[in-house]
Structure 1
Amino acid sequence: MSLGPVMLDIAGTVLSDEDRAVLLHPHVGGVILFTRNFESVEQLHALIREIHALREPRLLVSVDHEGGRVQRFRDGFSHIPPARLFGQLYEQDHQKARVLTRQAGWLMAIELRALEIDFSFAPVLDLDYGVSNVIGDRAFHHKPEIVAELAHAWMQGMADAGMAATGKHFPGHGAVAADSHHAIPVDGRDYNEIYAHDILPFRRMIGYGLSAIMPAHIIYDNIDRLPAGFSPVWLKQILRERLQFQGVIFSDDLDMEGASVAGEQYSDRARSALQAGCDMVLVCNNRTAAVEALDNLGEYNDPVAHLRLARMHGRGEVERQQLHSSSQWRQVTEHLDKYSANPTLAFDF
């Protein structure tokens, strides 16, 4: 059984019989975890091991764990500061900001890998134009060159920990005020402006070897009438052909309002996203919708997508107790705590 094209969620802290049956569906390829799935570090590790043991190749286990506002697990995990902090530090000292950013990427990833989570959907490559509350301090900076440089350092830290990186939200979510979770945002800029600014971090990260990209549920109406995640223009012509991206394309959550233009039926949304160029679609917080999508994908099979998805499995083994006793973990947590509390401090490492 290969990895299917659908990633979904589970309701609680343990697998129910219904969960097990759904996760064995051939079109399932992964599970995304949320805060509700966490009770303790030990419980979470046991849950992930049970998910991984269900199938071979094992299902991908993922989480949104960027840091700042978007950090699903807190107790027993280090606090990861929001990306904006690293942009502020960059304005003081470029090199040391890159070092701290790489350390943060490593810390985020290594603590998840110690529980056998395959990957986190990070880093954010959006620009901070000061208009999007849903992005805001999740962005490293407003200058695309700085975003690319710091995101590269973050990705290097993730790679050091054995985790693949996912850049989001292609081609850029930062220039619209509307939140695609609750609205259908429209970005009226022309392609040349988007390419020169918002796409620059994606283009550079692709050159650095970025493993995966998540497109935005935003309509760029001067380029296509469909949101980027459902648009062959954005995914096939621009991302695959023009930018030569060879990694995984994950849809954003199909239960978001920004995805509603692709159809009322979730099976229609899933098919549209896959036909547009996505390798895997996310259907979160709506089990009925997830099952509808699974049961109506027919004989869908994409061997190239299977190969891409297999590369998202985490690499290496990490023992949590040994990690916490290591000098590297202690030094990195000390650095991040110090500069999170006061980003204006002079660097001393």
Structure 2
Amino acid sequence: MQYRTSRRTLLTATAAVAAAAATTPTASAADESGRARTRDRLMRLIARMSLEEKVGQLFVMRVYGHSATAPDQADIDANLKEIGVRTAAELIATYHVGGIIYFTWAHNTRDPHQIADLSNGIQRAGLAQPTPVPLLISTDQEHGIVCRVGKPATLVPGAMALGAGGSRSDTRRAAQIAGAELAAVGILQNYAPVADVNVNPANPVIGVRSFSSDPQAAARLAAAQVKGYQSAGVAATAKHFPGHGDTKDDSHYALPTIHHTPEQWEELDAPPFRAAIAAGIDSIMTAHIVVPALDPALDPATLSRPILTGILREQLGYDGVVVTDSLGMAGVRQKYGDERVPVLALKAGCDQLLNPPNLAVAWNAVLSAVKNGEISEARIEESILRILQLKARRGLFRDPYVTHRGVDRTVGIRSHLAAADRIAEETTTLLANTGGLLPLSRRREPKLLVVGADPASPSGTTGPPTTVLAQALTELGFTAAALSTGITPTQAKINEAVAAAQGKDAVIVGTYNVSATSPQRTLVSELAATGVPVVTVAIRNPYDIARLSGFGASLATYSWTDVELRAAARVIAGQAEPTGKLPVPVQRADDPTQVLYAVGHGLTY
């Protein structure tokens, strides 16, 4: 009974937080007073916490299992091996973590009702702590090529596709839909939008996750997504500060270096983050990158006080939550040991410490740093206050629970799916159309062959891209057969595709990140040599066209999720107009200093 009373007191005492924290810079005196009262309530809550609970609030951790208390045995085993606890509930009771991140591979996101139940179980565990505090549940639901919650949830186009559409209203609407569906299953912090400006076509980790190579276009659309997500009740997270767009290395596996001068950073990298801050962004994620011009010490930005405090906090005036990118990534682990990384991140200016490889090591390192005076308790309380204010602003103190009824009213509903289809149509980009090959005629039941790359599908797709595209074309009146030739087709597979193309009216080839030595080039040229018209569809980066020859028409979809492939099928069939425009330049393969297709290029029928 004492627990029930303390929880009710806590929820009642902080019920006004969301409204007070959501005010604009032109807030009234009453609003300012409300925020001050809320801050005082949260400071009293912090004062009730033990040091161990305070340290726990700083961490956002992974956990295996579909249930907070009764995961499958394999997930229990994985939790014991990696974290030393059996379940999410034990994780919360042991380490008092302030947040949990969901992953598909951790079996957290099987279906919407299961996700909602998991979220509720996590919140019950949080409110059962000695000092009851709800948890902030997060995930990476960027859409496009990065999704953790799949069908029957609505999958909307990803960032570069939205950049091709160029519509702020569509971009905001896509985020509203995505945010509403995340909130319905209890996920109230989304690690999106990507605010990186993809100025390097060879970038291995950002690419189509970026809106554009144009900083101002990226800024407009990043701000639109911030407003969309947060109007739906979900904290948006602009990433990866100070900007991961001009790298040739992937920070999951290496420590990239950005060689921009301060002036170049201000011109190329800063605009989307400035726009996100102006839009009221709740959180910003750091990058595990080195920017020598911003920090001569060559520390990763996640651990750099000159970057996070000097630039983000002081120069840009940001006082929201700063979350690290995953502390398990190689980019942040190369220079310092795992026990130093979380301490240095806090000293640099971070608030949330995301997914350390060894939680016990990280948690105890921060605890020891506070006890021995390296980090003051007042310093971690600054971060805890920001985290609690964010939780309050998103309604977690008011009511942290979700319902199956709310899921059914929100997730994957007809209006959301229709909006996603409409938006996707406006992002599909027609790069080339020799002789007016597209749209394909649907007279006399034309026969098509769909071949190409079938990369691992993002969550929620119904099958390999070739199969999805063939099915969509069949539903539109074609007779379409699918043949997966893979990302690196063998000559035997190319020969099989050439033989299958005989007697077809056209061949559709899905291409995926075509390089100078890719056998996908041979596939396209040998299919073209048959005399059967060839349509290429770049299902990830739009740069593929520069390395291909012999095709009659070429499309870019920027991802291979169902919504984008179905839209491409409608464009191929003439059921939709290709109105997308390139948000990045496509350079010549033989001379990268020359632009083959400029930003803004896109043909129509």
TM, length-normalised to structure 1: 0.90
Q: CA deviation at 1:210?
A: 1.4
Residue type matched to 2:155 in 1?
H
Structure 1 segments unaligned to the other structure (5+ residues): 91-96
290, 294, 308: which one aligns with 1:223: 294
CA distance in 2 between partners of 1:336 and 1:177 (Å) = 31
Residue type matched to 1:40 in 2?
D
- Secondary structure, in 3 states, of the residue corresponding to 1:255? coil
CA distance in 2 between partners of 1:324 and 1:219 (Å) = 40
Tell me if 1:283 matches 2:355: yes
CA distance in 1 between partners of 2:351 and 2:254 (Å) = 24
Q: 1:31 to 1:142 in 2, by over 3 A?
A: same
81, 86, 91: which one aligns with 1:22: 91
Could you tell me which residue of structure 2 aligns to residue 34 of structure 1? 103
Contact between 1:6 and 1:282, CA under 8 Å: does it hold in 2? yes
Q: CA deviation at 1:326?
A: 6.8
Could you tell me which residue of structure 1 aligns to residue 387 of structure 2? 309
CA distance in 1 between partners of 2:231 and 2:143 (Å) = 18
Contact between 2:165 and 2:579, CA under 8 Å: does it hold in 1? no
1:127-171 alpha-carbon deviations (Å, 9 max, x no partner): 111221210000001111111111111111112211121100011
Query: What are the within-5 Å matches in structure 2 for residues 76-225 of structure 1?
Result: 76-90=152-166, 97-129=167-199, 130-224=201-295, 225=298
1:303-340 alpha-carbon deviations (Å, 9 max, x no partner): 22122112333348781222259775354234235443
Greater RCO, 1 or 2 (C-alpha within 8 Å, sep 6+): 1
Residue type matched to 1:125 in 2?
A
Could you tell me which residue of structure 2 aligns to residue 332 of structure 1? 419
Contact between 1:127 and 1:198, CA under 8 Å: does it hold in 2? yes
Larger Rg: 2
62, 65, 76: which one aligns with 1:12: 65
CA distance in 2 between partners of 1:46 and 1:324 (Å) = 15
- Secondary structure, in 3 states, of the residue corresponding to 1:66? coil
Higher mean displacement: 2-11 or 146-155: 2-11
CA distance in 2 between partners of 1:184 and 1:69 (Å) = 23
- Secondary structure, in 3 states, of the residue corresponding to 2:228? helix
Tell me if 1:296 matches 2:368: no
1:222-263 alpha-carbon deviations (Å, 9 max, x no partner): 332101110000011111111100100001111101011342
Could you tell me which residue of structure 2 aligns to residue 263 of structure 1? 336
Q: 1:142 to 1:228 in 2, by over 3 A?
A: same
Q: 1:345 to 1:311 in 2, by over 3 A?
A: farther
Could you tell me which residue of structure 1 aligns to residue 149 of structure 2? 73
TM, length-normalised to structure 2: 0.53
Could you tell me which residue of structure 2 aligns to residue 93 of structure 1? none
Residue type matched to 2:262 in 1?
Y
1:80-111 alpha-carbon deviations (Å, 9 max, x no partner): 21111111111xxxxxx111101110111111
Q: CA deviation at 1:294?
A: 1.3
CA distance in 2 between partners of 1:18 and 1:140 (Å) = 40
- Secondary structure, in 3 states, of the residue corresponding to 1:253? coil
36, 54, 71: which one aligns with 2:125: 54
Q: CA deviation at 1:188?
A: 1.8
Q: CA deviation at 1:38?
A: 2.1
Higher mean displacement: 304-313 or 222-231: 304-313
CA distance in 1 between partners of 2:112 and 2:240 (Å) = 29
* Matched positions, count: 337
Higher mean displacement: 154-163 or 2-11: 2-11
CA distance in 1 between partners of 2:111 and 2:409 (Å) = 18
Could you tell me which residue of structure 2 aligns to residue 94 of structure 1? none
Provide the aligned C-alpha RMSD in A. Answer: 2.2
306, 314, 324: which one aligns with 1:251: 324
Contact between 1:255 and 1:283, CA under 8 Å: does it hold in 2? yes
408, 413, 425: which one aligns with 1:321: 408
- Secondary structure, in 3 states, of the residue corresponding to 1:140? coil
Residue type matched to 1:238 in 2?
I
- Secondary structure, in 3 states, of the residue corresponding to 1:61? strand
CA distance in 2 between partners of 1:168 and 1:211 (Å) = 12
1:196-216 alpha-carbon deviations (Å, 9 max, x no partner): 210111112212211111111
- Secondary structure, in 3 states, of the residue corresponding to 2:239? strand
Q: Give the fraction of aligned pairs with identical amino acids, expressed as a percent.
A: 30
Residue type matched to 1:29 in 2?
G
CA distance in 1 between partners of 2:239 and 2:313 (Å) = 15
